[in-house]
Amino acid sequence: MPWRILIILLALGSSSAAQTAPLGASGGTPKRPFTFEDMMKLKRLSEPAPSPDGKWVVFAMQDVDLEANAKKSHLWIVPAAGGEARRLNLTENEEERPRFSPDGARLIWTSKATDPTQIWMSKFSPESGGLDGEPRQLTNVSTGADGGIWSPDGKNIVFVSAVYPDCKDDACNKQRDEELKNSKVKAKVFDKLLYRHWMSYTEFKRSHLFVVSVEGPVAQQNAARDLTPGNHDVPPFNLGGQDLYAISPDGQEVAYTSNIDEVEATSTNNEIFLIPINGGTAKKISNSPGNDNTPLYSPDGQHLAWRSMARAGFEADKQTLMVYQRKLEQARNATAEWDRSVGSYVWALDSKGFFFTAEDRGEAPIWSLTLDAKQPTELARLHADDLAFGGGNQLFFSRASIEAPNEIWRQDVAARGEPAAVTSVNNALLSQVAIQPLEPFSFKGAENADVQGFLVKPPGFDPAKKYPLKYLIHGGPQGAWGNSWTYRWNAQLFAASGNYVVVMINFHGSTGYGQAFTDSISGDWGGKPYVDLMKGLDYVEKTFPFIDKEREAAMGASYGGYMVNWMLGQTDRFKCIVSHDGVFNTESAYGTTEELWFNEWEFKGPPWKNRELYRKFSPHLLAEKFKTPTLVIHGQLDYRLDVAEGLQLFTTLQRLKVPSKMLYFPDEGHWVLKPQNSRLWYKTVNDWVDQWCGAK
């Protein structure tokens, strides 16, 4: 063996030993295991907004008050070159969504100083990095204001408000809201689908875009003009991410996203529209039957880009980048030949290309693409989001990993330099706890395809010992595990709670491995993904002798909940199961969900047209085989997968006398978000797994 290779192997061995040595073995201060209380103390950064001169970054940072069972977000600021972050506005009011004016002299944000929220504004001093004078309320609409963006000329703000589509002015909206509030009758009459969505029933309102001048007293601001009147949502419902509307560089036009199909519950057909900022008739410029979204003008105003999916009704189709030549009124697909989905994106400052993120094998790297190229170039391999330029070639973004939540980073895209941290607000806490790295592996799964998985070891790991296993199964199903952070299914916390090895598999249907791999789960929910999970478990049992195959728990939510329900009727190899918000009866799940496009794509139509496929992969039809002790979890406000699915599963387990327990949240939806509910969730889940798989 050449000496150079031997030295490298010895170095790797030393590094591995250092990572897996018992706590405090290095001679330094012993690091303690990561706890739920630690996780609640972490600062939650989002929405980095660089100043146009590149000197500052303003961002929203959320703190959790566990005892008050509350989360509150405030605005913070940090030098763009890095340094100590500080509060920007010393107020008790909750604040979020900061946005600099084009000249950097003013700042707007959404404030909860009033109920409902409104847009506030203040002058900003680039020299001191502070607010200049007292902030003032910019909007005063009775239905509230959020999502504010500046027109590039600095004269107007476009924002979002949910209004009654038949109301012509704010007085009408205010009267209708007051009548509803004061009425003793709370019944609702529905005459079309999507009468409830995510975790709330309809209030018969529509999101509209409004425009308001930044000049003038607040008393005049309730005269904000509705740019998108009518009985359609602008923008459509979304769970965060990049804005679904933009203003042209000359400030004269607004591009926005909307779905105008007759039956919204079966349609993913969001379209891109243009409308003059002074009002007028909207013009549709997209033509894909799938989801077109997030329009963004080039800095020189010649082009408009947006993300696009080709297939109707498929929410996980490959997301390509369309480029529309405004003068010629022609669009082309800039990433048609690239087999990944575009995530957060920005135009290059010279308007000659793009920078964007895209999932790839457990990461979300930053890529660059020129307008004349067919394939992008990878700039940085990490897990990035929220891209934004500030100060020339400095690209700012949020970065997370399995070892830490979001911090703000930057990269000089001209020099192609290494990314550098801008904030480090969680370093002090994380330096005190034993955080474990993410260890990837791969194996041959269904149809002999390459499948990737990840492993996280417990703190103080000793390779000579045997450890029980928590086998986490992701939702989506078109989702993926990877080098990112989550507060809901946190691998670090699962590993540290009771000393478990945590394993996660990106089975057929996962994202970041090409569209064909993602497509392969549709119509095959209990097929290839189940084979991958069983072969993945075989692989880790054979490859990692420290895994105790007699103490393994399968755990999943959403599609992961479906899969563990499916496993109940397929195998007895797990000591226990945790099923959160999972499908139990595929036919009843169809009748109680809201986004019908999802079920109709995954099961190739409604039940009355393809009943055999629904029944082929329905866990409830295998109930006579259920034996594994199961914890069932469901939220009353989950309208994606109705609580009836969890109740049916628990009833079945109880009647079969299978050891079982149900954790029911009357005030949570598909995700458990309230701090004390989250604490109960983790305790109940970990106690259940310990009961069946814990220390002997």
Instruction: Give the confidence band of 288 by pLDDT, cuts at 50, 70, 90.
Output: very high
Instruction: Give the confidence band of 215 by pLDDT, cuts at 50, 70, 90.
Output: confident
Q: Give the other-Cβ count within 10 Å of 604's Cβ.
A: 13
State pLDDT tens for residues 216-243: 665 454 589 999 999 999 999 999 999 9
**Residue that is written with structure tokens 């999943």 in the block:** 556
Asked if residue 24 has pLDDT above 50, the reply is no
> What is the predicted pLDDT for the residue at 162?
98
What would the mean pLDDT of 614-636 be, rounded to a whole number?
98
Q: What share of the chain is helix, strand, coil (3-state, %, to 5)?
A: 20, 35, 45
Instruction: Give the confidence band of 7 by pLDDT, cuts at 50, 70, 90.
Output: very low
- Name the helix (H) or strand (E) containing 219: none
User: Do β-strands 630-635 and 576-580 pair in parallel, antiparallel, or remain unpaired?
Assistant: parallel
* Mean pLDDT for all residues in the chain: 94
> What is the predicted pLDDT for the residue at 629?
98
User: Do β-strands 384-389 and 377-380 pair in parallel, antiparallel, or remain unpaired?
Assistant: unpaired
State pLDDT tens for residues 448-486: 999 999 999 999 999 999 999 999 999 999 999 999 999
Whether pTM > 0.85 for this model: the answer is yes
State pLDDT tens for residues 160-190: 999 999 999 999 999 999 999 999 999 999 9
CA dihedral 99, 101, 104, 108 (to 10 degrees): -50
> What is the predicted pLDDT for the residue at 558?
98
Asked if residue 308 has pLDDT above 50, the reply is yes
Asked if residue 15 has pLDDT above 80, the reply is no
What type of residue sits at position 179? E
Shortest CA distance to 49 belongs to which of 23, 77, 86, 11?
A: 77
Asked if residue 595 has pLDDT above 90, the reply is yes
Residues 6 or more apart in contact with residue 515 via CB below 8 angstroms: 317, 318, 339, 341
The answer to whether the Cα torsion of 31, 32, 37, 40 is positive or negative is: positive
CA distances from residue 103 to 74, 106, 264, 284 in whole angstroms, order as listed: 23, 8, 40, 31
Domains of the chain plus CATH, in order, are 100-182+190-429 (2.120.10.30), 436-693 (3.40.50.1820)
Asked if residue 25 has pLDDT above 80, the reply is no
| Residue 444 phi, psi (nearest 5) | -90, 120
Q: SS3 sequence, 548-609?
A: EEEEEEEEEECHHHHHHHHHHCCCCCCCEEEEECCCCCHHHHHHHCCCHHHHHHHCCCCCCC
What would the mean pLDDT of 584-607 be, rounded to a whole number?
98
**Residue that is written with structure tokens 């009518």 in the block:** 230
Pair of tokens at residue 593: 């969900």
What's 384's DSSP letter? E
Residues 6 or more apart in contact with residue 280 via CB below 8 angstroms: none
What would the mean pLDDT of 23-28 be, rounded to a whole number?
45
Asked if residue 13 has pLDDT above 50, the reply is no
What would the mean pLDDT of 573-599 be, rounded to a whole number?
98
Ranges assigned E (strand) in 248-319: 253-258, 271-276, 283-284, 292-297, 303-308
d(CA 375, CA 537): 36
CA distances from residue 277 to 151, 220, 228, 247, 354 in whole angstroms, order as listed: 9, 19, 10, 8, 26
Asked if residue 279 has pLDDT above 90, the reply is yes
> What is the predicted pLDDT for the residue at 217?
60
Whether residue 52 has a cis bond before it, omega within 30° of 0: no
Residues 6 or more apart in contact with residue 601 via CB below 8 angstroms: 313, 314, 315, 522
CA dihedral 532, 534, 537, 541 (to 10 degrees): -130
> What is the predicted pLDDT for the residue at 4?
30
Asked if residue 12 has pLDDT above 90, the reply is no
d(CA 209, CA 341): 28
Asked if residue 16 has pLDDT above 70, the reply is no
> What is the predicted pLDDT for the residue at 29?
78
> What is the predicted pLDDT for the residue at 444?
98
Asked if residue 695 has pLDDT above 90, the reply is no
CA distances from residue 506 to 338, 454, 482 in whole angstroms, order as listed: 21, 8, 9
> What is the predicted pLDDT for the residue at 3?
29
Sheet containing 283-284, strands listed edge to edge, beginning at the edge strand earlier in sequence: 245-247, 253-258, 271-276, 283-284
> What is the predicted pLDDT for the residue at 391?
83
| Residue 675 phi, psi (nearest 5) | -55, -50
Asked if residue 392 has pLDDT above 90, the reply is no
DSSP string, 334-360: TTTT--S---SEEE-TTSSEEEEE--B
What percent of the chain has pLDDT above 70? 95
Asked if residue 134 has pLDDT above 80, the reply is yes
**Residue that is written with structure tokens 């405030």 in the block:** 74
